[in-house]
A and B are shown apart, each in its own frame.
Chain A
Amino acid sequence: MLLIRCPYCGERPETEFHCGGEAHIARPDTPADISDADWGSFLYTRTNPKGLHAERWLHAHGCGRWFNALRDTVSDAFVTTYEMGTPRPDPISETAKA
């Protein structure tokens, strides 16, 4: 069971959370203007990386807030979690810090 640091509540067990999949897939402002292929890609195509993955989590049984996390999909270790609306942290600088 993962241990997840909610930006608002601190470290909590995974069962309190719901994973919302890959982060930073912005919904197009004017969906009507984009092609079927691009829309299909927005809906379905995912990075699915073996390594760092930016993903969305909801602290469903906690503060009820969505937030983002950067997690290594091989070790499952979280590099960081951050509030919605903030850009993806640069993992290189994170590594440099550590």
Chain B
Amino acid sequence: MSQPFRRASGGRIDRNRPLTVSFNGKTLEGFAGDTVASMLLASGQHLAGRSFKYHRPRGILSHGSDEPSALLSVDWRHDRGPGYRDPNNRASVVEARDGLVVKTQNHWPSLALDIGAVNDLLSPIFVAGFYYKTFMWPKRFWDKVYEPIIRKAAGLGEAPEYPDPDHYANRHAHADVLIVGAGPAGLAAALTASADASKRVILADEGAEPGGALLNDLTSTIDGQPAMDWVEDAVATLDGRENVILLPRTTGFGYYNHNHVCLVERVSDHRADAPEGLARERLWQVRARQVVLATGSHERPLVFENNDKPGVMLAESLRAYVNRWAVLPGDALIVVTAAASAYRTALDAKAAGMRVEIVDIRLGADCGPELAAARDAGITVRTGHTVIRALGGNRVGALVVAPIGTDGSIGPKLTLDCDCVAMSGGWTPSVHLFSQSRGKLAFDTEIDAFVPDKSVQAERSAGACRGLYDLGAVLADGFAAGSDAIGGAASPQPVEASAAFTGFQPVRVLPSDADPSRIKAFVDFQNDVTVKDIKLAVREGFESIEHVKRYTTTGMATDQGKTSNMNALGLVAGILNRPIPAVGTTTFRPPYTPVSFGALIGPARNELFDPVRKTPIDGWAAQNGAVFEPVGLWRRARYFPQAGEDMQAALARETKAVRSTVGIFDASTLGKIEVVGPDAAEFMNRIYTNAWNKLKTGGCRYGLMLREDGFVYDDGVVARLAENRFHVTTTTGGAPRVLRHMEDYLQTEWPDLDVFLTSITEQWAVIALQGPKARDVLEPFVSEIELSETAFPHMTVKTGSVCGVPCRLFRVSFTGELGYEVNVPADYGEAVWTTLFNAGQKHGITPYGTEAMHVLRAEVGYIVVGQETDGTATPDDVGLSGLVSKVKPDFVGKRSLSRPDMVAAGRRQLVGLLTKDPNEVLDEGAQVVKDPGQPIPMKMIGHVTSSYRSENCGRSIAMAMIDDGRARIGETVFATTPTGFTEAVIAPAVFYEVKGETADA
């Protein structure tokens, strides 16, 4: 497609850099600087999409991020393979470049002929909220029949189908002044704010280049020079300042607490030459001392019948296409306006060679100098006229207009031919970010808009976003805001700039004599919300604007109501005959414009999603065929299958080896905390249930920790290395919270204690040797430590060296067997492991993983906190009341243990369960009942917490929490299975008697 509507010269496009874009399979031509919207218009293509509900043909309404209608599916990197496509891109902000493949959405079979448009005919039924009133019969038809049909009809584009190959970046930044918006106010603010070289200034703008509305402006002057010259000078000045970061293509979308403002920068989508792997977008998380909001304003559409025809555009947008992109959106233009600013569009279009007429709602007497200017330029202006309707199919072809009598009556109608319409209902300051900052809005009746009132955070608004529309005033306001933001004088000199046409007469719905219940005059274009929908909502009692929004969905589309909110609000206020503030304003929430999930995630994808913590021995495990499992952030070796083994076979081998010879296990992930200081023992007394004073140096003790509410929190072996030094171990998952829990009490309840806590989890690699041959394996490598039973009994600790490496050697066991835990500095972990493993070959050493560890501990009845306990278990519930000191007056959790329901009879208690069929392994999590024949709901008396096939026991074993369980040992119960129940007997929770040298000796 060539460019029949491209002007011969002018525009901010580079005619030396032609480019093409694929549009619905056809080739669009354009130039660097174009958007897809300007290319479409240059080719004469106005039809750009189908509406959400009625599938009406829609064109391009706007030139910016407020575009509600021209939404495209864009494949950004078609040449690089699948996965670069996403839906719902605004044609008006997609910068054109070679290689883009774009398609229109929400139609079948084609854009021009869409079967879905039948909905437009059914629209008398599809009014606001119609779905609340029907589709209720038959009862199950809603989600089986009606809903799937509705869902299929709804939605806009197609979701991406492939994993996204793009990268996304993140950047935390700090600024003395952040300025959002680089139009005249923002540039002016940046100039004064950055004049002090010690102030860091960030200036961000959503557009491809700075300038804001001045980019569309060929006639205004500033200080006697063309406005864009001033912009270029300003940008050059800012570029030259080291203290300024200028960010084009960067949208401030979220204003969060404490001046945390989030921006998203489009880094590479506009670049045909972007290297693969360069971030697509970057999230800027700016913490600013001061913020200047210079976010401009949005033009309001006018509401009349068929105001959604392709070719009907916002007036300023039409001007932008003519001036900035050198495109004529048609030959015959009618400007319909309630605002003076649209006359500038008429004048510029006329100057560009279009046939132009103006229909002004206002009476001639209410107009300003713009009226004479238009008439002087030879433009026919019909003041005091209204638009009854637009005519046309896939493109506007004419407007039916009529004079409005002084009594409001509609005069004789006139049909004016045209092929494009520019409309303006005046302006709405863009207060989104201000509102997000929690600033309070005030309604300014003078300009019929909400403007910023009281700031809550350190920010100020400047320019059009606070209702200033005259260029000179905007610039002065910007300079003042920038100066104010750095604590300077807020009263700069006036700025000389050409006067703008300002002023407008608010109008909600254009007067018409048509039956309002029969016509469609759109308020929200994308969601197909019409005037009659809003009237219906109010009629049905939805009077708060939030109710109206929710009932009609006005303002809820992807443009988030930028063009529709004020018209909807004004309409509701008019119907209720209340002032607008009494109807309320919606609270703006992030984001200002939609932001990709990718940008919000940043680098936290794939291998950078969550850190994978690996132990020093992980490499050995990987080389030796370990199957891993995630445990919190850690990955741990679960079992070590040999050729042909499944998990059960590997488990059988590993668990038998530990009880018959020796096993080696990587326990490095255990949390470890060094507790040091003169008051270390006293601290331990208070934080654990056990008493610690009598634990001698060199001794170990199993410690139990409660939360203040009395429930089991964590456990682990604690060694006393010296009078003032404890080596505490915690569960793998519990390490961070246990340290925090300890620090909390230490710092906030007992600051008088002289004791310090240091995490040493990762200082030490921990190699567990467990089994009758453990000593034999270890002995040759130990120096300075005697390993004999008498010299080094169970539950003691010694320091020395292993393999010549400094070592904290624990004689402990989580298997019931003779066992050692060899703690060596982490960097030596793998070497010591390898040495011991190699030397252990002659003893039949077998590496085992977490799964075998669980089986082995269960065989001897040791609990795992978090498996047998679930945050609702007391020490007594899990049979550990012996670890709760009776003599200590207080420890964390003690008082809670005596609350009535904590000591009540019938609590669930830890017991063993033995299935009747010894080969049957219960499901972990199975529920236990006394009588499987009882009716539902059944009385559940407990649940299975751990269950394994135990090779050492020659049968299955299970642990369970059973109501009053210890008193029920010997009783037969039934546990659930995937298909029914199975019989089991309650037993003590110890299943295996260790032969030979036991841990409990």
Report A's interface with B, CB cutoff 8 A: 1-3, 13, 18, 20, 27-28, 30-32, 34, 36, 39-40, 43, 56, 58, 60, 64-66, 75-77, 84-85
A-B contact pairs, 5 of them (CB 8 A): A3-B257, A43-B896, A58-B740, A77-B456, A84-B751
Please tell me which one of the listed residues A3, A18, A65 contacts residue B287 in the complex, with CB atoms under 8 A apart: A3
**A65 with B257: CB separation less than 8 A:** no
Interface flag for B16 (CB, 8 Å): no
**A1 with B899: CB separation less than 8 A:** no
CA distance A30 to B456 in the complex (A): 45
Please tell me which one of the listed residues B709, B747, B889, B899 contacts residue A36 in the complex, with CB atoms under 8 A apart: B899
User: In whole Å, how far is B396's beta carbon from the nearest beta carbon of chain A?
Assistant: 47
Given contacts A32-B890, A58-B740, A84-B751, 15 further A-B contacts (CB under 8 A): A1-B257, A3-B258, A3-B260, A13-B172, A20-B748, A34-B895, A39-B899, A58-B744, A64-B743, A66-B743, A66-B747, A66-B748, A76-B258, A77-B456, A85-B751
CA distance A43 to B707 in the complex (A): 11
CA distance A74 to B749 in the complex (A): 29
A-contacting residues, B728-742, CB 8 Å: 740
* Given known contacts A1-B257, A2-B258, A32 and B744 CB-to-CB distance under 8 angstroms: no
**Chain B neighbourhood of A56, CB < 8 A:** 748
Please tell me which one of the listed residues A18, A39, A66, A77 contacts residue B895 in the complex, with CB atoms under 8 A apart: A39
Interface flag for B259 (CB, 8 Å): yes
A-contacting residues, B150-190, CB 8 Å: 172
**A76 with B747: CB separation less than 8 A:** no
**B740 with A27: CB separation less than 8 A:** no
**A58 with B743: CB separation less than 8 A:** yes
CA distance A20 to B373 in the complex (A): 67
Interface flag for B708 (CB, 8 Å): yes
A-contacting residues, B254-308, CB 8 Å: 256-260, 285, 287
Interface flag for B894 (CB, 8 Å): yes
CA distance A66 to B746 in the complex (A): 10
User: In whole Å, how far is A1's beta carbon from the nearest beta carbon of chain B?
Assistant: 5
In chain A, what residue has the closest Cβ to B750?
A27
CA distance A33 to B396 in the complex (A): 84
One digit per residue, 1 when the CB lies within 8 angstroms of any chain A CB and 0 when it does not, for chain B 857-901 equals 000000000000000000000000000000001100011100110
**A1 with B896: CB separation less than 8 A:** no
CA distance A44 to B269 in the complex (A): 52
Top 3 nearest A-B pairs by Cβ distance? A31-B895, A3-B258, A66-B747
CA distance A76 to B894 in the complex (A): 36
**B890 with A31: CB separation less than 8 A:** yes
**B260 with A30: CB separation less than 8 A:** no
User: In whole Å, how far is A76's beta carbon from the nearest beta carbon of chain B?
Assistant: 5
Interface flag for B77 (CB, 8 Å): no
User: In whole Å, how far is A92's beta carbon from the nearest beta carbon of chain B?
Assistant: 21
In chain A, what residue has the closest Cβ to B258?
A3
**B889 with A30: CB separation less than 8 A:** yes
User: In whole Å, how far is A10's beta carbon from the nearest beta carbon of chain B?
Assistant: 13
Interface flag for B438 (CB, 8 Å): yes
**B751 with A1: CB separation less than 8 A:** no
**B257 with A76: CB separation less than 8 A:** yes
**Chain A neighbourhood of B172, CB < 8 A:** 13
User: In whole Å, how far is B732's beta carbon from the nearest beta carbon of chain A?
Assistant: 19
* Given known contacts A3-B260, A39-B895, A27 and B749 CB-to-CB distance under 8 angstroms: yes
In chain A, what residue has the closest Cβ to B751?
A85
User: In whole Å, how far is B45's beta carbon from the nearest beta carbon of chain A?
Assistant: 44
**B740 with A18: CB separation less than 8 A:** yes
In chain B, what residue has the closest Cβ to A3?
B258
CA distance A9 to B301 in the complex (A): 52
* Given known contacts A56-B748, A58-B743, A66-B747, A31 and B456 CB-to-CB distance under 8 angstroms: no
CA distance A36 to B714 in the complex (A): 25
Report B's interface with A, CB cutoff 8 A: 172, 256-260, 285, 287, 438, 456, 708-709, 740, 743-744, 747-749, 751, 889-890, 894-896, 899-900
User: In whole Å, how far is B591's beta carbon from the nearest beta carbon of chain A?
Assistant: 15
**Chain A neighbourhood of B894, CB < 8 A:** 31-32
User: In whole Å, how far is B283's beta carbon from the nearest beta carbon of chain A?
Assistant: 12
* Given known contacts A31-B894, A40-B899, A75-B438, A20 and B744 CB-to-CB distance under 8 angstroms: yes
CA distance A31 to B256 in the complex (A): 42
Please tell me which one of the listed residues B285, B287, B456, B744 contacts residue A75 in the complex, with CB atoms under 8 A apart: B456
**B257 with A2: CB separation less than 8 A:** yes
CA distance A37 to B256 in the complex (A): 40
In chain B, what residue has the closest Cβ to A76?
B257
User: In whole Å, how far is A52's beta carbon from the nearest beta carbon of chain B?
Assistant: 16
User: In whole Å, how far is A93's beta carbon from the nearest beta carbon of chain B?
Assistant: 22
CA distance A84 to B744 in the complex (A): 11
CA distance A43 to B257 in the complex (A): 30
User: In whole Å, how far is B63's beta carbon from the nearest beta carbon of chain A?
Assistant: 34
Please tell me which one of the listed residues B287, B744, B896 contacts residue A66 in the complex, with CB atoms under 8 A apart: B744
* Given known contacts A20-B744, A30-B890, A84-B748, A43 and B258 CB-to-CB distance under 8 angstroms: no
CA distance A97 to B148 in the complex (A): 62
User: In whole Å, how far is B84's beta carbon from the nearest beta carbon of chain A?
Assistant: 31
**Chain B neighbourhood of A84, CB < 8 A:** 747-748, 751
In chain B, what residue has the closest Cβ to A78?
B258
**Chain B neighbourhood of A58, CB < 8 A:** 740, 743-744
In chain A, what residue has the closest Cβ to B709?
A43
**Chain A neighbourhood of B456, CB < 8 A:** 75, 77
Please tell me which one of the listed residues A2, A43, A76 contacts residue B708 in the complex, with CB atoms under 8 A apart: A43
CA distance A65 to B257 in the complex (A): 23
In chain B, what residue has the closest Cβ to A20?
B744
Residue of B708, B709, B748, B889 with most partner-chain A CB within 10 A: B748
User: In whole Å, how far is B744's beta carbon from the nearest beta carbon of chain A?
Assistant: 7
Residue of A18, A56, A76 with most partner-chain B CB within 10 A: A76
User: In whole Å, how far is B102's beta carbon from the nearest beta carbon of chain A?
Assistant: 36
CA distance A77 to B748 in the complex (A): 24
In chain A, what residue has the closest Cβ to B892?
A27
**Chain B neighbourhood of A66, CB < 8 A:** 743-744, 747-748
In chain B, what residue has the closest Cβ to A39?
B895
**B287 with A13: CB separation less than 8 A:** yes
CA distance A35 to B172 in the complex (A): 51
**B744 with A3: CB separation less than 8 A:** no
In chain B, what residue has the closest Cβ to A26?
B749
* Given known contacts A2-B258, A58-B744, A64-B743, A32 and B896 CB-to-CB distance under 8 angstroms: no
**B256 with A1: CB separation less than 8 A:** yes
In chain A, what residue has the closest Cβ to B262?
A1
In chain A, what residue has the closest Cβ to B893?
A31
**B748 with A36: CB separation less than 8 A:** no
CA distance A84 to B743 in the complex (A): 13
CA distance A3 to B285 in the complex (A): 13
In chain B, what residue has the closest Cβ to A27?
B749
In chain B, what residue has the closest Cβ to A18?
B740
* Given known contacts A20-B744, A32-B889, A75-B456, A3 and B708 CB-to-CB distance under 8 angstroms: no
**Chain A neighbourhood of B740, CB < 8 A:** 18, 58, 60
CA distance A35 to B828 in the complex (A): 54
In chain A, what residue has the closest Cβ to B707?
A43
CA distance A76 to B709 in the complex (A): 30
CA distance A31 to B899 in the complex (A): 12
CA distance A39 to B890 in the complex (A): 14
In chain A, what residue has the closest Cβ to B456?
A75
CA distance A85 to B746 in the complex (A): 12
**Chain B neighbourhood of A3, CB < 8 A:** 257-260, 287
CA distance A56 to B895 in the complex (A): 23
**Chain B neighbourhood of A13, CB < 8 A:** 172, 260, 287
In chain A, what residue has the closest Cβ to B747?
A66
In chain A, what residue has the closest Cβ to B891?
A31
User: In whole Å, how far is A72's beta carbon from the nearest beta carbon of chain B?
Assistant: 10
CA distance A16 to B899 in the complex (A): 37
**Chain A neighbourhood of B896, CB < 8 A:** 39, 43
CA distance A64 to B758 in the complex (A): 11
**B899 with A65: CB separation less than 8 A:** no
**B287 with A32: CB separation less than 8 A:** no
**B260 with A1: CB separation less than 8 A:** yes
CA distance A2 to B895 in the complex (A): 36
CA distance A17 to B266 in the complex (A): 31
